[in-house]
Chains A and B, each alone.
Chain A
Amino acid sequence: MIPKRFEYFCPTSLQEAISLLGTYGEEAKLLAGGQSLLSLLKLRVADPKYLIDLGRIAELAYIREPGACDAAARTDGPEGEIAIGALTTYAAIKGSRLLQGRCPLLPQTAAVVGDVQVRNRGTLGGSLAHADPAGDMPAAVLALRAELKAVGPSGERWIRAEEFFLGTFATALRPDEILTEIRVPVLKAEKAVYLKAARRPSDFALVGVAVCLKLGRDQACEEVAIGVTGVTEKPYRATGVEGRLRGRRLEPKAIEDAASAITLGVEVSESIHASQGYRSHLARVYASRALQAAR
């Protein structure tokens, strides 16, 4: 399969990329790792006139220590953040000592995306901007309550993960914006887990549940955020489950009760691999297991 003809640009700075995107607007497409876009181009589902390759913008691939970030983006929540450039590959995230030590949920999640080859090319920014309804990283950034930085011709703005995913392949990014950075908290008292149900190890999730949990006194749940993927048209926060957990001791019964709210208010997807009923069941079971594991 061969993509349609397009004009190709490979800017070496973010500024250059933004001005190209400003010039060509909706007729242009950004290329990051290409692990989703190349297939879309080949199937001609996407047929941009202009392709802007971000792959040579070295300033967009980094994982930075807390403190090395400029003015903190978040106003509440845990202190200390790690900044990750949008072009950082899954392989770099999986192998990052810094993340393994301070925010292990991200490397743990990156490790179960696709296969070695996909992880060598695919990027965190690309996976979030692509917003596949079964993407793994979206669940993790939701549970981490990450902040996403979008830069466009009129400057930069921060978008909270839970406001980023709008629908299947649809995000809060404007057509002239580039996702440049993802900020995640340093996990201290929190424990975090991502569990994925897939038919084979390198497949997309039938259901994926990411949990970030902080226990207080008496082992009661002080704070919890749960990101869910694969279940409906977009990755989402399971606020129904979170609400039932806050303030409660996480006995098995309490976990089961809360997990049963995981599909509350969402239209559960159906496919040849999982009926609505089966997928809902998986979601409940994986939510329970993830909570048990994070406890």
Chain B
Amino acid sequence: MHRIAVRINGKAYGHEVEPRLLLVHYIREKARLTGTHVGCDTGNCGACTTLLNGQPVKSCLMLAVQANGAELTTIEGLAGNGLHQIQEAFLDKFAVQCGYCTPGMILSAYALLKANPKPEEGEIREAIEGNLCMCTGYQQIVDAIGHAARTMRMSGSR
């Protein structure tokens, strides 16, 4: 067993874990944050996307021990008083159907907009390349991210 300490959404967590424990299982089962989904479990779909020190990673392709000491952000960390503007945009633009891909999509979008508040459509599409959606056909998601970028720029938020 290994002792790990991480911060998830600003809150400190510490656990004894088996080295083979996947980060996504750590987040869901030890930290009890089930907004991070397991889709394919093979690194292809991006449903398990989490921000590791601000950068999107697939948490099913990492061991929890590899995240020791890191700062993680999951979908639960985005909403403050009310939904985050990206979440609002996903609702407004009908970018959510079954919702399975949504947390990962939103975290990828969040990382994009932090680094690039005014993305071109091509840049939006590249940012969600690692996130598969079986329902929407992507267009609504791309629209929602563009819309979120505009509302975030207008309100001067991040």
Q: Which of B49, B55, B111 has the most CB of A within 10 A?
A: B55
Q: Is there a chain A Cβ closer than 8 Å to B65's Cβ? A: yes
* Bound form: Cα–Cα A31–B2 in Å: 17
The winner among A3, A53, A120 for most chain B CB atoms within 10 A is A120
Identify which of A38, A116, A120 contacts B43 (C-beta below 8 A).
A38
Residue of A nearest to B18 (CB): A5
The verdict on B78 contacting chain A, using a C-beta distance below 8 Å, is no
Q: Is B61's beta carbon under 8 Å from chain A? A: yes
Residues of chain B within 8 A (CB-CB) of A10 are 65, 68
At the interface, yes or no: A115 with Cβ under 8 Å from chain B? yes
A-binding segment of B81-89, B126-134, B150-158: B126-134
Q: Please judge, given known A-B contacts A6-B19, A117-B57, A117-B130, whether A38 and B65 are in contact too, CB under 8 Å.
A: no
Contact between A117 and B46, CB atoms less than 8 A apart: yes
Complex contact B20–A117 (CB within 8 A): no
Would B65 and A115 count as touching, CB distance under 8 A? Answer: no
* In the complex, chain B residues whose CB is within 8 Å of the CB of A39: 42-43, 61
Q: Does B33 count as interface, using CB distance less than 8 angstroms? A: no
Q: Which of B42, B63, B108 contacts A116 (CB under 8 A)?
A: B108
- Tell me the bound Cα distance from A246 to B126 in angstroms: 38
The chain A residue with its CB closest to the CB of B67 is A55
Q: How far is the CA of A7 from the CA of B58 in the complex (A)?
A: 23
Given the known interface contacts A117-B58, A202-B130, the answer about A7 and B19 at a Cβ–Cβ threshold of 8 Å is yes
A115 with B46: CB separation less than 8 A: yes
A and B contact pairs by CB, cutoff 8 A, 21 listed = A8-B19, A8-B65, A10-B65, A34-B61, A34-B62, A38-B62, A39-B43, A41-B20, A42-B41, A55-B66, A115-B46, A115-B129, A116-B129, A116-B130, A117-B61, A117-B108, A118-B43, A118-B130, A120-B55, A120-B57, A202-B130
Contact check, B46 vs A121: say whether CB atoms are below 8 A apart.
no
A1 contacts partner chain B, Cβ-Cβ < 8 Å: yes
A185 at the interface (CB under 8 A from B): no
Interface residues of B in 36-72 (CB under 8 A from A): 41-43, 46, 49, 52, 55-58, 60-63, 65-66, 68
Flag whether A114 is at the interface (Cβ < 8 A): yes
The residue in chain B whose Cβ has the minimal distance to the Cβ of A3 is B20
Q: Is the interface of B mostly helix, strand, loop or mixed?
A: mixed
Residues of B in contact (CB 8 Å), total 30
Checking B2, B49, B57, B60 against A8 with a beta-carbon cut-off of 8 angstroms, the contacting residue is B2
Q: Give the top 9 A-B pairs by smallest Cβ distance, nearest first.
A: A115-B130, A8-B19, A115-B129, A117-B130, A38-B61, A3-B20, A120-B55, A117-B58, A202-B129
Residues of B within 8 A of A1 (CB): 41-42
**New A-B pairs, 17, CB < 8 Å, besides A53-B65, A117-B56:** A3-B20, A5-B18, A10-B68, A38-B43, A38-B60, A38-B62, A42-B41, A115-B46, A115-B129, A116-B111, A116-B127, A117-B46, A117-B130, A120-B55, A120-B57, A121-B58, A121-B62
